[in-house]
Structure 1
């Protein structure tokens, strides 16, 4: 059995690991870890030290040290997360900021072209694509993926769209669907898109930190990411990626002039960032690597997911929305009570009667309850979840 798989099943290790985090002892069991990640105690302490450092040193430190040295060292470390040169990434406030920047500055559209979005994209990404189409005189094509999903059906849906809409030039693609946790077959879709000359802007918000990937191998040239979800960094940190040979296809953001057009940093607004948070990232990355990186985190999260899904998949009255094809899921999975008209009411009962916090999401086939374990979720927590779901399924 691979080392990461062995570690993923080692409850003794994870019992000890939980001790690195501060948790509200009186709060509910949090199975809504998809919103943002929890910082370890040592990261919180480092963050506080950096707040004090920047407050003491003020503009002298920022202009003389951070701007000239420390900031660039951090950017190099960020780039290493995706196995890319520092010259291909620039920092942003979060994945949405990064993706909106890529979308609004994409300059290859002309009147009459088409852009593609689907039902699994984040709402802010869909609205940005619609805005871009209006500004460029392009048409928006919207897909609804079949449910239940399969690898071949997902890829086939895009191939059919590329054939049916020959004027397509740009599409949004979400690596990990925030609604159900469905992992899209990015490499296969990108290969198909390339056949038809369609560019992809990838939303990697939920992928970074729980899926080990290589953008070049995936065939992705534009992407946006979060550092606050599965990396466990402070809030309001993200970055965007542009392949070196595609930089000219994304305009400097609103004629941003602090950097030359040949520098990717001109593709985001120049402003004062959250410097203490950025200074905390080296420790965040150190702890991420020490645990085993995305492959180790992903193995643990998938193990926790498999525990509850295997226990309730065949329970009458419960429908698991995410397929069991290992290529198509990660730690996030959604379900619904098949005979209940109000999923929000059921999520409320999970919280009120069982002390388990989840979140309801709206999909193309109705509302569902998204269940997202975190790295401090233990096997006994999943047993508690399965008992609660089974109990509520009898109502």
Structure 2
């Protein structure tokens, strides 16, 4: 329970960071918020009051979409109403005092500040999937016969994007599986081996936090390993912005695609790309996009009409994230994850998908019931837990070792809800045994 102890030890060590920014964004946290964070049970209750959540089903699917807090939701509703009233006047920058591009650039700047980079290195998109498609399919340095690398832990659609490079560019797609147990040593060895054994490798897809089993690999070391062999890395950070506490410098990556509507909990339809300064020319404009100049990163993403109100709400989501405190937020998420893991660890035959190593996970983890082997069984467990126990866990396939049930607590979840999950796993341990 290391992370739970770390969480409990944060009282007084983590101030209400960004309070001035939060206030400026209309973000108000309840009096005594900091003091409540010193006790795990009190923190759960305090976080719970930040959300308007339907609890008829215990929702453990935060990896899909991060619900907005009440303050951010209120600001978004206000933005929706305002944009609807001024409609095309705003889109044409005809509303006095509200230049459209300058206000959207503020959202870009807030994301850049969060990731420790420059505003001109960030472009907004409708989500992580769109962002990563844009980076992968428009990577310019690939020649016919070059190899591109992807692993079993990588997200389905990003694997599809890498496969498209075979059809469109004549690339060789090389797949490999990460060995289990997925220890740091095993992961580094697997990436070293595939890079060594694929001399024509040019591009590597690397997932910052796997949506399948929650694995957080040693990203910086893998990126450095790839660069040493002349291999570029596109980092899939869809599950990490607002979840793990990191900057782009921490990763070493030159190209990153990410979501903002998952763990940062901005409104749905928000994500973005990062391209390190000096590398912009290595990603082609999106389908020949000339709405923006080729020297502008915004040419690298689709430029159709987006949910402007959602994008204008990004600064409020960043302010909320800072007000809660990135380190405190991560510690609480890990404590929730550790709670259910500890409760089922002794179930005979149950498979937990990550070894006990520091910093190899956030909130996301996964399990298999004893004897569970195939996709049909995983789907059956998801349905059983939903219908019988009113719990949402998610069947995921793609790992070489077989399908799993993913569990992703959010800040609004409680240990009481997780105890229901523990009881369900224990009750159904003989389902396939």
Give me the TM-score of the superposition, normalised by structure 2.
0.87
* 2:164 is equivalent to residue 134 of structure 1: no
Contact 1:9-1:303 at 8 Å conserved across structures: no
Segments of structure 1 that go 5 or more residues without pairing to the other structure are none
Indicate which of 238, 252, 258 corresponds to 1:225. Answer: 258
Q: Distance in 1 between matches of 2:380 and 2:175?
A: 30
* 2:214 is equivalent to residue 181 of structure 1: yes
Q: Distance in 1 between matches of 2:322 and 2:244?
A: 13
Indicate which of 48, 52, 58 corresponds to 1:18. Answer: 48
Q: Identify if the C-alpha distance between structure 1 residues 66 and 37 changes in structure 2 by more than 3 Å, giving closer, same or farther.
A: farther
Q: Secondary structure at the match of 1:366?
A: coil
Indicate which of 240, 247, 257 corresponds to 1:214. Answer: 247
- Residue aligning to 2:387: 352
Indicate which of 290, 312, 328 corresponds to 1:279. Answer: 312
TM alignment of 1:70-219, pairs within 5 A: 70-219=103-252
How far residue 270 of structure 1 moved from its aligned partner, in angstroms, is: 1.9
* 2:67 is equivalent to residue 31 of structure 1: no
Q: Secondary structure at the match of 1:326?
A: coil
Give me the TM-score of the superposition, normalised by structure 1.
0.95
How far residue 105 of structure 1 moved from its aligned partner, in angstroms, is: 1.1
How far residue 9 of structure 1 moved from its aligned partner, in angstroms, is: 5.2
Contact 1:34-1:229 at 8 Å conserved across structures: yes
Contact 1:8-1:299 at 8 Å conserved across structures: no
Q: Identify if the C-alpha distance between structure 1 residues 2 and 28 changes in structure 2 by more than 3 Å, giving closer, same or farther.
A: closer
Indicate which of 373, 378, 381 corresponds to 2:417. Answer: 381
Indicate which of 355, 368, 373 corresponds to 2:404. Answer: 368
Q: Distance in 2 between matches of 1:393 and 1:172?
A: 36
Q: Secondary structure at the match of 2:267?
A: coil
Structure 1 outlier segments of 4+, above 4 Å = 1-5
For residues 85-104 of structure 1, what are the alpha-carbon distances to aligned partners after superposition, in whole Å with 9 as ceiling and x for unaligned? 10101011100111110111
For residues 252-303 of structure 1, what are the alpha-carbon distances to aligned partners after superposition, in whole Å with 9 as ceiling and x for unaligned? 112211222111111112222210111112211111110002x222111111
Q: Distance in 2 between matches of 1:390 and 1:370?
A: 16
Total equivalences in the alignment? 393
- Residue aligning to 1:242: 275
- Which moved further from structure 2: 376-385 or 338-347? 338-347
Q: Which structure shows the higher helix fraction?
A: 1
Q: Identify if the C-alpha distance between structure 1 residues 4 and 288 changes in structure 2 by more than 3 Å, giving closer, same or farther.
A: farther
- Residue aligning to 2:90: 61
Q: Distance in 1 between matches of 2:210 and 2:303?
A: 30
